[in-house]
Amino acid sequence: MKLLIRNLARSTTEEELRAMFEAHGAVQSCTLVMDKETGSSKGFGFVEMPKQSDAKMAVNSLNGKDVAGSKIRVKKAE
């Protein structure tokens, strides 16, 4: 299941994002969307988890969580 993570702090790294989701199960891929001109994070990214049950558990526990001063939003990517 592919998840969209929004409202990330610009300082959040892909490694930190992956670690957050790996606490709930296997992570297939983890991508932060970067600004081409500045090379900094745009504040959102995608995480793919092979097991739907793990992904749902991650959404339930991480959606609305305060991470580095920002309340992240996690939902299934459309």
- What pLDDT is attached to residue 44? 97
pLDDT of the chain along its 78 residues, tens only?
Answer: 999 999 999 999 999 999 999 999 999 999 999 999 999 999 999 999 999 999 999 999 999 999 989 999 999 998
- Domains along the chain with CATH numbers: 2-76 (3.30.70.330)
How many Å apart are CA 58 and CA 60, to the nearest integer?
A: 5
CA contacts within 13 A on the Cβ side of 14 = 12
